Amino acid sequence: MNQAHSPDVLPATPVDELSIQTIRFLAVDAIEQAKSGHPGMPMGAAAMAYTLWTRFLRFNPRDPSWPDRDRFVLSAGHGCMLLYALLHLTGYDLSLEDLKQFRQLGSRTPGHSEYGLPGVEATTGPLGQGLANAVGMALAERMLAATFNTPEHVIVDHYTYVLASDGDLMEGVALEAISLAGHLRLGKLIVLYDDNRISIEGSTEIAFTEDRPARCAACGWHTQTVADGNDVAQVAAALAAARAETDRPSLIAVRTHIGFGCPAKQDRASAHGEPLGPKNVQETKEKAGWPLTPTFLAPPEVLAHCRQALDRGAARQADWEERFRRYAQAHPEKAAEFQRRQEGRLPEGWEAHLPIFSADQGPLATRVASGKALNALAQKIPELLGGSADLAPSNNTLIKQPPDFKEVEPDVQWSNGYQGRNLRFGVREHAMGAMLNGLALHRGFLPYGGTFLIFSDYMRPSIRLAALSKLHVIYIFTHDSIGVGEDGPTHQPVEQLVGLRSIPSLLVFRPADANETTAAWRLAVTHRGGPVALVLSRQGLPILDPARYPQLLAGVARGGYVLEEAAGGAPELVMLATGSEVHLAREAREMLTAEGRRVRVVSLPCWHLFQTQPAAYRDEVIPPGTPLLAVEAGSTLGWKPYVGPAMEVVGLDRFGLSAPGPVAMQELGFTAANVCRRAKKLLAGI
């Protein structure tokens, strides 16, 4: 069919125009009633969002998790009333009463869109994150298609759409992700750029003057511009052209007007983040010919028109289910595997090859042990994939058996390359973190990403959103202390551990040896309810003999356990330690035991898990009233939960120094002798 005569690109009809106005004023009324919110973006972007949702986006409001639906990510999450209005009008489980509760306590319409609500594909608001999430989603689609589709049966074939703002494109995370998306040739990723040229402080001319489409084109993107974002036919034609481009991601810069239709606020910064105000609402509605009452008006003809999405979505899903039925008949094992991965179930025997390390294999860096555990798991868990921010040899994050992603050469098609499991993120920690979230949000993968612990700071926004969304993502952070050595204080993490531990729903493991590392990986793979960070050593550490310490596996699963019991009776001192410092505590205990002291050593690889244990277990491990000495090569601030009248911390409340690792550790007090000295002072009450 000639595109000019395609139903998708025909001019707007009267009911189209009425629907677009309905979206605008539902947003205006909700924000006005809440006395809080961002009306400008929904008012300006309503036409292009409506065009996408009614003419191109494939979804089923009755089954928001249908596997082959298109994904829509509102990266400009502050404009979430635009999304809520679309969800309500097209028939999702979001009522008019829900819209009236916008930004209120316990409502289903929070102030920025949150994953888990019907039709919301990602938690957005921190700018740039949603766009980078979408790159991960688009990559997931390509990888699943390469793995499961056959020439006769196509069961994975959907698009990922993004609505992004000027602020999204300003953020560094977005540019990192745009660069990588172009490199990966993600031709089914389409970004609608809401080019309204206004930011909170005023015109974007004050800080953002480069040619945005040209920048994306330089990164390998297909780009277009739409002169009038209110022209449905123009927007539709651009979307059709973007869908026809299969080898490059697409950016469509759509010229819009923030606060469109409001005489006092259109094209002004004041339209961005505050209600219009009663007088402006009245003037805007009068200008548009919209009734002043009732508020929250959704005309019956608009509902009837927009809710055609229910039948349309049901038909599309039924067509897919029939294709999947035929696929399952032809390829029953592949179909069962696809369903297992969509449901997030681990395969039978997934832990069969997990390594157990004997004491005579040591010393062994926990980063090396992690690489061995990762590769053992990868043999049984095909959805486990990931990479590193250009540090794979140091992080030990390479999966050795499956094929790598193919190198991109001019004119080379990617098809088979998408079956690789080693993702090459380049030096892009920001984008890596956000793309891992996108892979997890899409479903079908268990993603991991690695870098040095010090550079986890670059990933903090993505880690926080993964925790907030309770995503199953694994982080591998190596070079975990001043034991990094000669690289000096710029690369020696001090405050990172306490920072990560402060994030709700993030499990942080700092294992003491190779076997605790294996146990931590076991939990990282099985844990639900949030991401997991493995914090690992660069330097070799002694291996805890599993025959001597049979409590290790169960102890790590509980977050903390008694590793070395006090000799000769109840402990008069308990030493708490994590990671490499567990071995310092063990050595100090031996010295103190030789002097007749009763000292217990507790390994505490995961504080959060330990804190969730029953009080009886915690009291059994750390007897109340017993003097405590904590040992960790990091900030002492994080040990506050254990602070009491008889508590000391051998920690690090300063930056490190440049010297060989053992020298740095000794110079900064991480020696058995210093631990003994501090223990004696504590016991003496000094």
Q: What is the dihedral of CA 80, 85, 90, 95, to 10 degrees?
A: 110
Nearest residue to 637 via CA among 478, 508, 499: 499
Nearest residue to 287 via CA among 258, 268, 260: 260
Residue 569 has pLDDT above 60, yes or no: yes
Helix%, strand%, coil% for the chain, nearest 5: 45, 15, 40
Confidence of residue 412 (pLDDT cuts 50, 70, 90): very low
* Catalytic-role residue among 114, 176, 429, 516: 429
Residue 415 has pLDDT above 90, yes or no: no
Confidence of residue 79 (pLDDT cuts 50, 70, 90): very high
What is the average pLDDT score of the chain? Answer: 94
Confidence of residue 410 (pLDDT cuts 50, 70, 90): very low
Q: How far apart (Å, rounded) are the C-alpha atoms in residues 686 and 684?
A: 5
Q: Which residue has the tokens 């007007």?
A: 257
pLDDT on residue 418: 86
pLDDT, tens only, 600-652: 999 999 999 999 999 999 999 999 989 999 999 999 988 866 655 567 888 89
Q: What is the mean pLDDT of residues 553-557?
A: 97
* Side-chain half-sphere CA neighbours of 681 within 13 A: 12
Q: What tokens does 58 get?
A: 């494939």
Q: Are 481 and 634 in contact (CB under 8 A)?
A: yes
Higher pLDDT, 405 or 444: 444
* Side-chain half-sphere CA neighbours of 515 within 13 A: 23
Cβ neighbours of 289 (radius 10 Å): 7
Q: Are 367 and 396 in contact (CB under 8 A)?
A: yes
Residue 1 has pLDDT above 60, yes or no: no
pLDDT on residue 685: 79
pLDDT, tens only, 497-509: 999 999 999 999 9
Residue 176 has pLDDT above 80, yes or no: yes
pLDDT, tens only, 194-206: 999 999 999 999 9
Q: Are 216 and 223 in contact (CB under 8 A)?
A: yes
pLDDT on residue 24: 98
Residue 408 has pLDDT above 50, yes or no: no
Q: What is the mean pLDDT of residues 95-102?
A: 98
Q: Using alpha carbons, list the distances in angstroms from residue 13 to 85, 134, 214, 304.
A: 20, 31, 33, 15
Q: Are 68 and 320 in contact (CB under 8 A)?
A: yes
The contacts of residue 493 (CB under 8 Å, 6+ apart) are 452, 453, 454, 456, 479, 480, 481, 484, 634
Residue 359 has pLDDT above 90, yes or no: yes
Nearest residue to 469 via CA among 507, 504, 508, 500: 504
Q: What is the mean pLDDT of residues 457-474?
A: 98
pLDDT on residue 584: 97
pLDDT, tens only, 251-261: 999 999 999 99
Q: What is the mean pLDDT of residues 177-182?
A: 98
Mark out the alpha helices in 9-105 (DSSP H runs).
14-34, 40-55, 80-90, 96-100
Q: How far apart (Å, rounded) are the C-alpha atoms in residues 215 and 235?
A: 21
Comparing 26-30, 383-387, 420-424, 551-555, the range with the smallest average pLDDT is: 420-424
pLDDT on residue 2: 46
What global pTM score does this model have?
0.95
Residue 324 has pLDDT above 50, yes or no: yes
Task: Tell me the domains of the chain and their CATH numbers.
Answer: 3-314 (3.40.50.970), 359-541 (3.40.50.970), 559-683 (3.40.50.920)
pLDDT, tens only, 222-278: 999 999 999 999 999 999 999 999 999 999 999 999 999 999 999 999 999 999 999
254 in the Ramachandran plot: left (φ > 0), alpha (ψ -120 to 50) or beta?
beta
Confidence of residue 467 (pLDDT cuts 50, 70, 90): very high
Q: How far apart (Å, rounded) are the C-alpha atoms in residues 148 and 245?
A: 23
Q: Is 429 an active-site residue?
A: yes
For residue 539, the Cα-to-chain-centroid distance in whole angstroms is: 29
pLDDT on residue 414: 43
Q: Which helix (H) or strand (E) holds 280?
A: helix 278-288
pLDDT on residue 417: 67
